[in-house]
Structure 1
Amino acid sequence: MKLKYLLAVLIGASSYGILSTFVVLAYGHGYQLGEVVGTQLLTGCILSWLLAMYTKLREKRKQGTNSGGRTANLTDSTAKSAKKLTWKQRLMLMLVGTPTAITGLLYYYSLQYIPASLAIVLLFQFTWISVLIQAISKRERPNGVMLFTLVLLFGGTLLAAGLMEQGGAQFSAIGVTFGLLAAVSYSLFVLFSGKALPSVNPAYRSAWMITGGLVLVFILFPPHFLFNGLLWSNLLLFGFLLGLFGAFIPPVLYAIGVPHVGEGMTGILGAAELPVAVMMSSIVLHEHVTALQWIGVVIVLLGVMFPELYKRSKRRLVTN
């Protein structure tokens, strides 16, 4: 497993950690759920298609260079990427992309009923949900390393979110339900994003997946902000930031890394979202983060690093 694929997933997950801060700021300006998610996916979709167009242009130049020299035949990888997607494949990618939009809708909706600290705890249940889905699909039990890692992640998440100090007084049945549904949706995205046409160039895959999510959101929430002038307010800035860090960077990096990393490891690396979210809330929103919460952040980071550290130590013992 190459380091660049691990870093791709890790950076993609960290990008998700920035979103909650921007969503809180957007709600503070009076914007609604459909407007926030709609502008996020719209800007993310535009950025993704610009990347796809740039990738296609590069491929054409490469093909022209190959055909002009002695090596007239394309390599296998170039030939695969040069093939046009069928509409069946495009629709499949659009369908796979819908969990991205659903996750955003469910998670952002839960933020209207429960504190952000509790919402992110519920979202982070995707760690064990991803492992459970993988275990059921492969009909095998998680090993001891994976179980120990999940214990670290779960315990650290509770501390980092400040749930121990807040108690259960702020629990809302609606908020908790939607937070857990967001975790399930995110787990499905992690699962399907790595299996949907992995041979297709990640730029094309991401563009069609985000397009599918955008279509779903516009069906559920008609984009009135495109015509009433609201888009040209601060909503455009929030939409760009959310689209960049939520709908563009993570899907692209996940499309690159997940097929090589695997769903189980992707679920673990995704825990990097939590410490990033805590740091952003402290720096940007000026929220008070206690020492107990920072201890939780450290535990989560240890949980993220533990599987790879364990593998490396095991390899050293074998080689020695």
Structure 2
Amino acid sequence: MKYILSVLLGAICYGILSTIVVTAYGEGYQLGEVVGSQLLTGFILAWGLVLFTKWRERRKKQSASGEPTVSAAKLTWKQRFYLMAAGTPTAITGLLYYESLRYIPNSLAIILLFQFTWIGVLIHAISQRKRPNGIMFLTLAILFGGTLLAAGIVEQGLSKFNWIGVIFGLLSAVSYSLFILFSGKAVPSVHPAYRSGWMITGGMLLVFILFPPHFLTNGLLWGDLLMFGFLLGFFGAFIPPVLFAVGVPHIGEGMTGILGASELPVAVMLSSLVLHEHVSWLQWAGVVLVILGVASPELFKLARRRTFREA
């Protein structure tokens, strides 16, 4: 249960990010400044957690043996580079998703991000060289139907949407699929604090290469950007990766996808309440369908297990 709760809370944290980003854009900040300050905050918090973890491990071993010992979390540089590489999809997802918010409403951007569900199925099918079964095709049909409703396509048609934003939103879904794929497989035997620290480091370095952090020297950081960077870093770059690192290896990718769906209603609800975007009841029905589509594979598995046990 604690691993399930860990992933659930991580997904809920992700759900509030887009509202903060749209507010930051409204204050005049740019993409590189928003994502850069987010990952810098996450980097500081993550390595602070690493230092605290080392200190706690050292105290435990001192109390057990009476002598100070070196932390057992020794990583080779190969493992560190692997973790940093696994962290880059997080940064890329943020860049693509946040850029889509410049062109399309928050409620639509989160729906597009949630296409990671069927994209993840496609990636898994290709990697395993297996054709999706009937249950998966039914799941995809539910997801597509829910997406058409939730995105407002049924009500407004396609002509109302900015296709640049739509493309960025779909690309963020591809990147998020890769993040879920790699987050549970990147050196899972290492303590989550160390894994998260190196993954955030990789993401931050990538963003700083693409968008040099001029906000560190031009004084922007000490304005409202510091507040936005802290909120985004805490709820986006720090807490969710740590919680996912704790939970994903224990509950698997399937259950992670289901729990990750909690991000969707949180983001849409905040779009309506905070950003005052219009979200119709038909769109809410689409949100429910998308969540059902995400959950349906695991629900079918549970039903099969129950039937097998009863037989």
TM-score normalized with structure 1 length: 0.88
1:123 aligns with 2:121: no
Within 5 Å, give how 1:202-241 maps onto structure 2.
202-241=192-231
Aligned counterpart for 1:55 among listed residues 53, 57, 62: 53
Aligned counterpart for 1:175 among listed residues 157, 165, 170: 165
Rounded Cα–Cα distance in structure 1 between residues aligned with 2:249 and 2:86: 15
Change (3 A) 1:145 1:10: farther
Within 5 Å, give how 1:1-320 maps onto structure 2.
3-68=1-66, 82-320=72-310
Q: Deviations over 1:53-98 (max 9, x none)?
A: 11111211222233249xxxx9xxxx9x714112221121111111
8 A Cα contact 2:41 2:234, kept in partner: yes
Q: Deviations over 1:34-58 (max 9, x none)?
A: 0000111111111111111111112
8 A Cα contact 2:97 2:113, kept in partner: yes
Change (3 A) 1:47 1:252: same
Tell me how far 1:232 sits from its aligned partner.
1.4
CA RMSD of superposed structures (Å): 2.3
8 A Cα contact 1:33 1:109, kept in partner: yes
Change (3 A) 1:299 1:155: same
Rounded Cα–Cα distance in structure 1 between residues aligned with 2:137 and 2:166: 24
8 A Cα contact 1:107 1:123, kept in partner: yes
Unaligned runs of at least 5 residues, structure 2:
none
Rounded Cα–Cα distance in structure 2 between residues aligned with 1:143 and 1:67: 55
Bigger CA drift: 243-252 or 33-42?
243-252
Tell me how far 1:304 sits from its aligned partner.
4.3
AA of the residue aligned to 2:214: H
8 A Cα contact 2:146 2:289, kept in partner: yes
Rounded Cα–Cα distance in structure 1 between residues aligned with 2:186 and 2:54: 20
Tell me how far 1:307 sits from its aligned partner.
4.1
Rounded Cα–Cα distance in structure 2 between residues aligned with 1:254 and 1:306: 21
Rounded Cα–Cα distance in structure 1 between residues aligned with 2:124 and 2:251: 13
Bigger CA drift: 287-296 or 194-203?
287-296
8 A Cα contact 2:73 2:191, kept in partner: no
Identity over aligned pairs, percent: 73
AA of the residue aligned to 1:296: G
Rounded Cα–Cα distance in structure 1 between residues aligned with 2:252 and 2:134: 18
SS, match of residue 34 in structure 2: helix
8 A Cα contact 2:85 2:202, kept in partner: yes
AA of the residue aligned to 2:217: F
Q: Deviations over 1:254-274 (max 9, x none)?
A: 112222233344334322221
Bigger CA drift: 289-298 or 241-250?
289-298
AA of the residue aligned to 2:2: K
Rounded Cα–Cα distance in structure 1 between residues aligned with 2:231 and 2:98: 15
Change (3 A) 1:10 1:61: same
8 A Cα contact 1:41 1:247, kept in partner: yes
Q: How many residues align?
A: 309
